[in-house]
Structure 1
Amino acid sequence: MTPTANSSEAPGQQPEPALRADAERNRERITKAARHLYGSEGIGVSMASVAREAGVGKATLSRHFATREDLINAVFADRMDAYATATTEALADPDPWHGFTRYIQAVCAMQAADRGFADVLTMTFPAAKALEARRADAYNGFLELIARAQATGHLRADFTPEDLVILLMANAGVIAATGNAAPDSWRRLVGQMLRALAAPGAPIPPLPQSPTPAALYRAMIRFARSSSNQL
């Protein structure tokens, strides 16, 4: 007796599990490509660039991520989790001032490790609900961290939560400007900022070395070329 085709499948039609596996592979390729581009160029890259990097069509990209915010949410969910965890760990430190300084150093290091995340921390994405919820959790924890550190008398009384945003913006700018030419410049910035935030008599973390004149000169040339390319 000759076998008959499954009535639920048209001739040549792929089984549903194979379709789902193919879709999952495309999604992974898209998020991997976006993570690479965001990490090296920042989140200003276009969706079209992400599609080209992933080797998929724009329609395929849109099926998985209808908006830029959807893609950003998927790419940076784990980073935002780490950001929230840094707040929790800082609050668990028995020394609130040490917890505060460690938190600042940890978050700025996250920015340095991923340029895309450096951008994400200084921007808001109202449509990316999960991302913004984790940001809100971290922010609320940071408010408590500020109050505790100020209560010790080691954090300046005039420090505000908005000062953190300014610090992160400055750090993101240094990271973008120096790139690989002077990659540790951000550490010097953070060290100087912590000194500025410390009240008189507060223990201050060691100040990292400044970049060499040659490295900083290379960074300045790099930044000038990058700026001229955007004109």
Structure 2
Amino acid sequence: MLPSETPSESPALRADAEKNRRRLLTAAREVFAEHGLDVTLDDIARHAGLGVGTAYRRFPNKRVLIDELLVEQLTTMRDIARAQLDAQDPIAGIRGYVQEVVALQVADRSLKQVMFASDRGQKRVEEARAGLGPAVTALVDRAHDARLLRDDVLASDVAMITLMLSVVVDFGRGYEPELYRRYLEWLIAGILRDGPATGQPPIAMECFHSAMLTFKMGAAPKPQR
């Protein structure tokens, strides 16, 4: 061992710490999906087969763990949006983004809970949110440049479509998990240039994010002033 290298800095211990971190995140998804977010970090540690002390070394509290899950989720969504910019058809790119994001929720029941659970102001979460918005906006701008969308369609409309379809996912889970695909096509058709006008303006993306931070499923959101 080099003089400047302490045991805690050794590659083997760093790799072991990262392995435990991944085990805790995986266990958290599984426990949240089955029991909701009211479980404790101790419960998550037991599900991961790790000691409570190990869990608290990786995550000082459950809030930090939830935020880490959300950062991973937002980063994945950003990467999906960026990848869909390569789609030859701009509308196929938007459809592909929505479909992949909703498919993530089909595979992991905890994702929506985590999305609504994070507190405002966590730096890494806000940075991840800030990375997602421009990626989705680029998809929408590309479709606008091709004159394929109604003039009033914003990136927040695409975000709202994914939110609406997430309810369909929950409704059909265990019975018809692919049910959301039917409504995906109807919703995509509604934002095309020849789609019907609604008379209701879209929500701004910053307002959408604010509403996400205060919204609780089954409860009316508090208005932001």
TM-score bin, normalised by smaller chain = 0.5 to 0.7
Structure 1, unmatched stretches of 5+, are 1-14, 202-226
Q: Identify if the C-alpha distance between structure 1 residues 24 and 96 changes in structure 2 by more than 3 Å, giving closer, same or farther.
A: closer
Q: Which residue of 2 aligns with 1:215?
A: none
* Kept after mapping to 1: 8 A contact 2:102/2:165: yes
- Of residues 77, 93, 103, the one that matches 2:87 is 93
Is 1:106 aligned with 2:105? no
Structure 2, unmatched stretches of 5+, are 1-6, 196-217, 219-225
Q: Which residue of 1 aligns with 2:174?
A: 180
Is 1:47 aligned with 2:41? yes
Is 1:67 aligned with 2:61? yes
Alpha-carbon distance between aligned partners in 2 of 1:172 and 1:142, rounded to the nearest angstrom: 17
- Of residues 11, 21, 27, the one that matches 1:33 is 27
Following superposition, the deviation at residue 108 of structure 1 comes to: 1.8
Alpha-carbon distance between aligned partners in 2 of 1:83 and 1:47, rounded to the nearest angstrom: 26
Q: Which residue of 1 aligns with 2:145?
A: 151
Q: Which has the larger radius of gyration?
A: 1
Following superposition, the deviation at residue 182 of structure 1 comes to: 1.7
Q: Identify if the C-alpha distance between structure 1 residues 31 and 150 changes in structure 2 by more than 3 Å, giving closer, same or farther.
A: same
Alpha-carbon distance between aligned partners in 1 of 2:13 and 2:142, rounded to the nearest angstrom: 53
Report the residue type matching 2:175 in the other structure. Answer: A
Q: Identify if the C-alpha distance between structure 1 residues 41 and 173 changes in structure 2 by more than 3 Å, giving closer, same or farther.
A: farther
The C-alpha deviation readout for 1:28-69, integer Å capped at 9, x for no partner, is 442231132245555564434323322445454323211334
* Kept after mapping to 1: 8 A contact 2:70/2:115: no
Report the residue type matching 2:48 in the other structure. Answer: A
The C-alpha deviation readout for 1:99-149, integer Å capped at 9, x for no partner, is 222222222222222222234445654465334423321211211221221
Alpha-carbon distance between aligned partners in 2 of 1:123 and 1:189, rounded to the nearest angstrom: 26
Alpha-carbon distance between aligned partners in 1 of 2:171 and 2:40, rounded to the nearest angstrom: 21
Any idea what SS the aligned residue of 2:85 has? helix
Report the residue type matching 2:86 in the other structure. Answer: A
Q: Which residue of 2 aligns with 1:115?
A: 109
Deviates more, 1:20-29 or 1:93-102: 20-29
Q: Which residue of 1 aligns with 2:127?
A: 133
What is the TM-score when the length of structure 2 is the normalising length? 0.65
Report the residue type matching 1:86 in the other structure. Answer: I
Alpha-carbon distance between aligned partners in 2 of 1:42 and 1:49, rounded to the nearest angstrom: 12
* Kept after mapping to 2: 8 A contact 1:69/1:127: no
Any idea what SS the aligned residue of 1:92 has? coil
Q: Which residue of 2 aligns with 1:216?
A: none
Report the residue type matching 1:186 in the other structure. Answer: Y
Alpha-carbon distance between aligned partners in 2 of 1:124 and 1:193, rounded to the nearest angstrom: 28
Report the residue type matching 2:142 in the other structure. Answer: R
What is the TM-score when the length of structure 1 is the normalising length? 0.64
